Amino acid sequence: MKEKLISLSQQNKNNRFLKNKIELRCKCGYCESITYYDYLTSGEFNIGEPTTTISPFISEAVYDETISVTPLSSSKKCPACGKEIIAVFPLSLEELIPLLQSRPPDPHMYG
Ligand SMILES: [Zn+2]
């Protein structure tokens, strides 16, 4: 699954979504921001255990609608103090995959 995510991200190199930035902030005050693209293609993230949660789209007639949520997180050593910085990706695997699988605009349109 991790390899799939990395290759999907590489295929989406020009996807504007992947140009969003994620902030790695250490308790010592060190702060670094990397793009979603760098985060995902570095391969230095871990796929967490899926958990189920109540769907936010639940209707009043349904009481047991649950969805699966798999968190992504990465850890890296702070270059300033050497402690570990944990960066949790803002989207779950389930939200991310469809975004990466949606077809980008036809490249021929841009020459
Ligand atoms: Zn630090």
Q: Which two tokens stand for residue 74?
A: 């990465």
Find the 84 Cα to ligand 1 centroid distance in Å: 8
Indicate whether 109 pLDDT > 70. Answer: no
Residue 61 binned pLDDT confidence (cut-offs 50, 70, 90): low
Indicate whether 20 pLDDT > 80. Answer: yes
Q: Provide the 3-class DSSP secondary structure of residue 70.
A: coil
Q: What is the pLDDT of residues 41-57, one digit of tens each?
A: 999 999 999 998 877 66
Indicate whether 108 pLDDT > 70. Answer: no
| pLDDT confidence of residue 66 | 82
Is the CB of residue 96 less than 8 Å from the CB of residue 89?
Answer: yes
Which residues are found with C-beta within 5 Å of the ion, ligand 1? 26, 28, 30, 78, 80-81
Indicate whether 90 pLDDT > 80. Answer: yes
